[in-house]
Amino acid sequence: MGDTPWRPTDAPRLDGRVAVVTGANSGIGFQTARLLAHLGARTVLACRSPERGGRALERLLAEVPGADAGLAPLDLADLASVRAFADKPPADRIDLLVNNAGVMALPYRTTADGFEMQFGTNHLGHFALTGLLLPRLLASGAPRVVTVSSELHRVGRPRFGGAHRPDGDGPDRYGRWSAYARSKLANLLFSAELHRRAEHAGAPLLSAAAHPGMAATDLAAVGPSLEGRAGLGALLARGAGTIGHSDLGGALASVRAAVDPGVRGGAYVGPRGFFGLRGGPRFCGRSTAARDSGAAADLWSRSEKLTGVSYTWV
């Protein structure tokens, strides 16, 4: 696959293509959407908050004059919202789906459907969204799905629950960081299994994954803020920018995975400088657990049962 340096100036034009970016109201998601719009894609910002999404769209249009961009409501922590988005998609054909939205290290909470919030939002919401949008993706000549993971997937354990807790540990055994790592491992297993299933079906869909390293976003601040520790949240956000890189730097891995013609199905792209925390996007390895095809197939089956979404390839 090679590992040559890559810069945004290497990216091809995307005129005429339709891109959907989840969680595009701020941080890495916004920068990903901005860069795709700059390359000429018709870009849809899929956001939970209409207010924050609206401000992000205004900012994008100001920073990319002439951009073809729009806003659509999507709450990945609510499968009814995911289905509503898919029932009225932003276009008949979707060329590029960037599964970017996520939450990190929250105190124990559940989604609208009763799933642990991190696993439910980061993995199950995107699993359902991708499956429901699959007909729109397959209407493209060369669709691509990019799922954003994290290097913390390396400490994740493939324990995705059992009969009594099919989405992971309940509140009595919950660890916010272990739950986050598990959800990011699920992202990589899903991306790899999506690639395998597309190949088996003879579908042209390319599935790849990316990680941003450590970027200066407000993601790490949300958990402490929910517990009334906004000062700690602000400190964590500043520290991420000091040790890692900017939100734009973090978005480059997603953009390379989305547009680089050299990316192959199953690729994992992210910074490899300074222990993977910052630097230009390159092809990366993944943990042994993230390469477990049996765990990926089992997670897929569980995800179908939990979400009620099955993938139809024809």
- CATH number at 73 reads 3.40.50.720
**Does residue 98 form part of some domain?**
yes
**Does residue 223 form part of some domain?**
no
Contact status, residue 119 vs residue 45, Cβ threshold 8 Å: no
**Does residue 235 form part of some domain?**
no
Please give the pLDDT value at position 219. Answer: 65
Please give the pLDDT value at position 43. Answer: 98
How far apart (Å, rounded) are the C-alpha atoms in residues 67 and 212? 25
**Does residue 237 form part of some domain?**
no
Which domain does 132 fall in, by range? 8-218+246-307
Q: Phi first, then psi: give them for residue 98, nearest 5 degrees.
A: -110, 105
Could you tell me whether strands 96-99 and 69-73 are parallel, antiparallel, or unpaired per DSSP bridges? unpaired
The whole-angstrom distance between residue 5's C-alpha and the CA centroid of its chain comes to 23
Could you tell me whether strands 268-273 and 278-283 are parallel, antiparallel, or unpaired per DSSP bridges? antiparallel
Q: Phi first, then psi: give them for residue 148, nearest 5 degrees.
A: -90, 120
Contact status, residue 100 vs residue 148, Cβ threshold 8 Å: yes
Could you tell me whether strands 18-22 and 96-99 are parallel, antiparallel, or unpaired per DSSP bridges? parallel
**Does residue 229 form part of some domain?**
no
Please give the pLDDT value at position 272. Answer: 75
Per the annotation, the verdict on 108 as an active-site residue is no
Please give the pLDDT value at position 232. Answer: 46
73, β-bridge pairs: 47
Helices (H), the chain: 27-38, 50-63, 79-87, 117-118, 126-138, 176-201, 219-226, 230-243, 247-259, 293-307
Low-confidence stretches of the chain (pLDDT < 50) are 1, 162-164, 166, 221, 223-224, 232-236, 239, 241
Which residue is catalytic, options 108, 174, 180, 268? 180
**Does residue 224 form part of some domain?**
no
**Does residue 23 form part of some domain?**
yes
**Does residue 205 form part of some domain?**
yes
* Domain count across the chain: 1
Please give the pLDDT value at position 233. Answer: 45
